[in-house]
Amino acid sequence: MVELVETPIPGLLLVRLDVHEDARGWFKENWQRAKLADLGLPDLGPVQHNVAYNHRRGTLRGIHAEPWDKLISVVTGRVFGAYVDLRAGETFGQVVTVEADPSIAVLVPRGVGNAYQTLEDGTAYSYLVNDHWSPDATYVAVDAADPALAIPWPIPPAESVMSEKDRANPWLSDVDPMPVRRPMILGADGQVGRALVAAFPGAWRVSREEVDLTDSEAVAGLPWRDTDVVLNAAAYTGVDAAETPEGRRAAWAVNAALPATLARLSIEHGCTLVHYSTDYVFDGTAVGPDGHEEDEPLSPLGVYGQSKAAGDVAIGTAPRHYLLRTSWVVGDGANFVRTMQRLAADGVSPAVVDDQVGRLTFTDELVHATRHLLDGQAPYGTYNVTNGGAPTSWYDVARAVFRLAGREESDVTSTSTAAYSHGKQLAPRPLDSVLDLAKLRATGFEPEDAMAALERYVRGGTAQADSRP
């Protein structure tokens, strides 16, 4: 029976494999993706298979930490494996040792130093890695004989067969820890991006002014090797401008081509990809009893929705992805609520559509849900994410903003989408933008009521309650 065993070093896992032996020899499944994934082993996504053969007992290789994950397994013979956490953090310097034969495999995460001393002549071990060697990558090594590590080598390093390079490795006290991988935020200057920057203070920040996100080579040149989670908040959101020739090209470049590039690169570098989408991928008619469900067929009305729908399809090709569909976004920047506040302050009495129904999504709530899904390791896939409470119309929201701003609700009058659009060059809008939140709630996340968040936002506080965990 295959078994997964955790160790004191986070991410360092032992895998006890089934070895089937008879008079002919033995057989084992050294890498069986589906079976190991069911046990909880991360999907390694190997890109290279290496074999190290050692002539003599007492051969010692390491201790090396590489910027990739690898699964090591003995092919023949026995080894004594030593593992040292060389990543920045509380477990820096933690040591784990194990004696392994063909029945033991070890998943070594990025930044954990690993060394192997052979206990028999003619020992060979293989390892799968999920990235290619690069001279520009960060590598860290430590002296196998460092007394601070106190590794109980069966054969003292001084009596082992070692390379001169390994004998010259520094002691732990002289080692610079390998930096941990960080999130990367694309579109860091937008409403959602600014909220993500606040929630992920150590993240790489990429704005569209700094990097041309429509240039696939420029995107590929970002620090992918040092990134674990990519949060794509970049989007072309000019719903009406997308209907023009120039806007159409821009929308497809940012909303469709960029996600396709990100999906490809996230697969190549083993990153988790978080992408933010929209209710505009639906036409606002074919809804379930509680709103549009995640698996509802895409049916966009205009160019903006079509380009976002194409991006959704591209994101779905990445095995490790969270596609978060949202609606009516409100955050730090230009948005409907800020517009209504300005009109209220200026003494304007606007007419607002009352036949478009949905829920507000405050960026703080969207980011809170993002952290919840990532930290809780929720199943990958598509999730609807908005604030909670009863659906409202834009007219309802405008009246609430006026009331909170000290104006009479009656100063806002209602109109229909057809009447408001008459004589204007406007893109079609979905009339029903309500998103079903059952799948999100099933992960243990309860969205905050949109009207409670609206009141706090208008009064100048944070959109999300301070009491939320």
Catalytic status, residue 420: no
**Helix (H) / strand (E) containing 206:** strand 204-206
Q: For the purposes of burial, counting CB atoms within 10 Å of the CB of 100, is it exposed (0-12), middle (13-18) or buried (19 or more)? A: buried
> What does pTM read for this prediction?
0.85
For residue 128, the SS3 value is: strand
For residue 467, the model assigns a pLDDT of: 37
Catalytic status, residue 64: yes
Catalytic residue among 116, 127, 276, 383: 127
What residue spans define the domains of the chain? 3-174, 182-458
For residue 468, the model assigns a pLDDT of: 41
Give the distance from CA 379 to its chain's centroid: 12
CA–CA distance, 433 with 358 (Å, rounded to integer): 5
CATH fold label, 3-174: Jelly Rolls (2.60.120)
Q: Give the amino acid at 383.
A: Y
Rounded to whole angstroms, what are the CA distances from 45 to 2, 127, 142, 151?
19, 13, 27, 31
Catalytic residue among 64, 321, 368, 372: 64
In the CATH hierarchy, which top-level class contains the domain 182-458? alpha beta
For residue 249, the model assigns a pLDDT of: 97
Of residues 334, 394, 315, the one with CA closest to residue 360? 394
What string of pLDDT tens digits covers the 469 residues of the chain?
889 999 999 999 999 999 999 999 999 999 998 889 888 888 888 889 999 999 999 999 999 999 999 999 999 999 999 999 999 999 999 999 999 999 999 999 999 999 999 999 999 999 999 888 878 778 899 999 999 999 999 999 999 999 999 999 999 999 999 988 899 999 999 999 999 999 999 999 999 889 999 999 999 999 998 899 999 999 999 999 999 999 999 999 999 999 999 999 999 888 999 999 999 999 999 777 899 999 999 999 999 999 999 999 999 999 999 999 999 999 998 999 999 999 999 999 999 999 999 999 999 999 999 999 999 989 999 999 999 999 999 999 999 999 999 999 999 999 999 999 998 999 999 999 999 999 999 999 999 999 999 999 998 855 444 334 3
Q: Do domains 3-174 and 182-458 have the same CATH topology?
A: no
Of residues 275, 295, 292, the one with CA closest to residue 283? 292
